[in-house]
Structure 1
Amino acid sequence: MDERYEVRPVRPEDAPGIAALRRMPGIVEDTMGLPSCRDTDSADFVEDLGDNDHYFVAVTEDGTVIGSAGLAVYSSPRTRHVGCLGICVHPDHQGQGVGTALMAALLELADDWLMLERIELDVFSDNVRAQALYEKMGFVKEGLKRRSAIRKGRYADEYLMARLRPGSQA
């Protein structure tokens, strides 16, 4: 654990901080969130997390949420070995290891506890900072999803990136 923050499983009291983070300029543009995200939306999200949903937050000593990351395991019997990852880090804390710590927590869970073979994510094609983090963590670009999302009144492209479990075989 870094002395400036702790990475831990989400708690109900984190919901307002998660909502504030998701609405924040510098975050909302690069996620599938909306600027209208309400605290109650995040509270409902945290409350409704199921057995296949795993969510961590990075919090400062005073409890301020500075990052969040989730891993959803697909529930279909044919894709039970696959999870989908999402992450966001407060703009003032980017480049300080918060994203790496959150990703490491999720990937350890995926590899050592859930035995997932594949983790996938989508990232905007112009979000090179996030792409660099994902590549550092073993993800590779598998394809370009053209005009797959709306961002600030325009269609935007996303890369599909994935990571196969180290040491796994097809």
Structure 2
Amino acid sequence: MGVYVSPVVRGRKIGKALLFEFLERARELKDLEQIQLSVTTVSSAAYALYHSLGFQEYGLERRALRNNNTYLDEHLMVLFLQTIR
């Protein structure tokens, strides 16, 4: 799954609303314990959004993506939905 908000409507908190609703529904799934994602290191707005929703960085994947001759690193992030007992 990917999240993309068109540049024309960015800044209207559409992405945050979409992700918030997704996370609310995910929390209703009893056996779902965590959600993992990756975001390129150049996507600072997306990183900040995920962080504001509770995601924590647990690693960095160097040269995760290649676009023409440019390599992009990715932050690896996780959100723990339920406390392990």
Is 1:128 matched up with 2:44?
A: yes
Match of 2:75 among 159, 165, 169: 159
Which structure would you say has the larger Rg?
Answer: 1
Say if 1:152 and 1:133 are closer, same or farther in 2 by CA, change over 3 A.
farther
Q: Which residue of 1 aligns with 2:27?
A: 111
SS at match of 1:138: coil
Task: Tell me the C-alpha RMSD between the 2 structures.
Answer: 1.4
SS at match of 1:88: coil
Residue 151 of structure 1 deviates from its aligned partner by 2.3
Which letter does structure 2 place at the counterpart of 1:103? L
Residue 94 of structure 1 deviates from its aligned partner by 1.4
Task: Quote the Cα distance in structure 1 between the aligned partners of 2:58 and 2:83.
Answer: 18
Instruction: Give the percent of matched residue pairs that are identical in Structure 1 and Structure 2.
Output: 37
Which letter does structure 2 place at the counterpart of 1:120? Q
Q: Which residue of 2 aligns with 1:66?
A: none
Task: Quote the Cα distance in structure 2 between the aligned partners of 1:154 and 1:118.
Answer: 31
Gaps of 5+ in 1: 1-69, 71-85
Residue 152 of structure 1 deviates from its aligned partner by 4.2
Which structure is higher in RCO with an 8 Å CA cutoff and minimum separation 6? 2
Residue 169 of structure 1 deviates from its aligned partner by 2.1
Which letter does structure 2 place at the counterpart of 1:91? P
Task: Quote the Cα distance in structure 2 between the aligned partners of 1:150 and 1:93.
Answer: 27
Residue 105 of structure 1 deviates from its aligned partner by 1.4
Task: Quote the Cα distance in structure 1 between the aligned partners of 2:44 and 2:65.
Answer: 17
Q: Which residue of 2 aligns with 1:95?
A: 11
Gaps of 5+ in 2: none
Q: Which residue of 2 aligns with 1:168?
A: 83
Residue 133 of structure 1 deviates from its aligned partner by 0.4
Task: Quote the Cα distance in structure 2 between the aligned partners of 1:161 and 1:169.
Answer: 18
Residue 129 of structure 1 deviates from its aligned partner by 0.3
SS at match of 1:150: strand
SS at match of 2:84: coil
In the superposition, the TM-score normalised over structure 2's length comes to 0.88
Residue 95 of structure 1 deviates from its aligned partner by 1.7
In the superposition, the TM-score normalised over structure 1's length comes to 0.46
Q: How many residues align?
A: 84
Residue 92 of structure 1 deviates from its aligned partner by 1.4
Could you list the per-position Cα deviations for residues 72-116 of structure 1 after superposition, in whole angstroms to 9, with x for gaps in the alignment?
xxxxxxxxxxxxxx311111111211011110111011101x232
